[in-house]
Amino acid sequence: MRRKTAIRTGLSAFLLLGSWATAGFAPASAAPSPISEAPASHGLLAAMQRDLGLTAGQAQKRLAAEKTATSLEAKARRAAGESYGGSWFNPSSGTLTVAVTSARNADAVRATGATVRLVEHNARQLNAAKKRIDALSAPPAGVSSWHVDPKASRVVVDVVATRKKDSNVREFLDRARQAGPVTVKETAQKPRTFAAGTVGGDPYYTGNVRCSIGFSVHGGFVTAGHCGQAGASVSGWDRSAIGSFQGSSFPDNDYAWVNVGSGWWTVPVVLGWGTVPDQLVRGSIEAPIGVSICRSGSTTHWHCGTVLAKNETVNYSQGAVHQMTKTSVCAEGGDSGGSFLSGDQAQGVTSGGWGNCTSGGETWYQPINEILNRYGLTLHTS
């Protein structure tokens, strides 16, 4: 950032202005850092109380249990072997549940400290079914998204309630059911991306589009692909030049990265916007389904929710985007590209969703480790 702006507010003066803050693979260039045991800030606990309906004590207890579950997940998955059917965090019990298709593996999984549920299909079978649905042509506008649900041991296809009787929706569902074990659920609205026209605040700009910076990487930052095409120039919140999009993919994916120059620099920080202290980024260990997760963005600032699903295909009007993670966190226009965090671990960049931060909604993010792998980037960590 230019020296004239370097004294803006504390860590907010660094590159990650407008930033928010993640997926199933380790980053290509940076080994995951151990999960920090630093105590949660008062602001973070307050945000979880507001968005998740918890008391301060409940929020503290949940964060501690989520750290344990996140550390346990990889070990439990290895113990399950080929019978692994997925896993998720149970907020009510504070435990990690691992689905297995064979009782022979159950004791080995329990020995890791996880709870076990016997299911019909393993993760390989479910992912193969979802991949066959991904390959179906022309998903209609009334189909919102589809993902593997380890609890149901099915691929869940979400359909907009008001469009469920459309002939093209029924036809798509018939073809999806032929691909494997499928169940259908209704959703209130169709997802959309969260880019916005030029307004004030702490953004970055591409032409008349405003988005939010995601995470610093060495040499630049990552963000959403729908915010700009490769080669497009980028300016900061003060309209001074930052750099340009070095790579961008949308639809199919929704990720991009921007190089940094012209007096700007990168730091491993995500803005707390006064709700929580600015957050240090220490790694990108993937959090399991069911854990609490928070995000930061230039429009609606800091909000929290829960991880609802992984590896979901989202059917935007511009086309389908794959391998997304669904959350109950709200977002609005201009929040696109911002950061999703679980504790101090980067999780992903905001893509889109439905609803808003007044009435609520759902938001998807593109996992950070996939972006790092795709472009050979190294996450900037503290």
Catalytic positions, please? 226, 254, 336
| DSSP H or E segment with residue 47 | helix 42-52
- The neighbour count for residue 134, using CB atoms within 10 Å, is 16
Distance, CA of 209 to CA of 221 (rounded, Å):
17
**Non-local CB neighbours of 352 within 8 Å, separated by 6+ positions:** 191, 192, 193, 194, 226, 254, 314, 316, 336, 363, 364
Q: For the chain, what's the residue count?
A: 382
The alpha-carbon radius of gyration of the chain (Å, integer) is 20
Looking at residue 357, what DSSP letter applies?
T
Q: Which of 370, 334, 99 is nearest to 227 (CA)?
A: 334
CA 119 from chain centre, in angstroms, equals 26
Question: By three-state DSSP, how is residue 199 classified?
Answer: coil
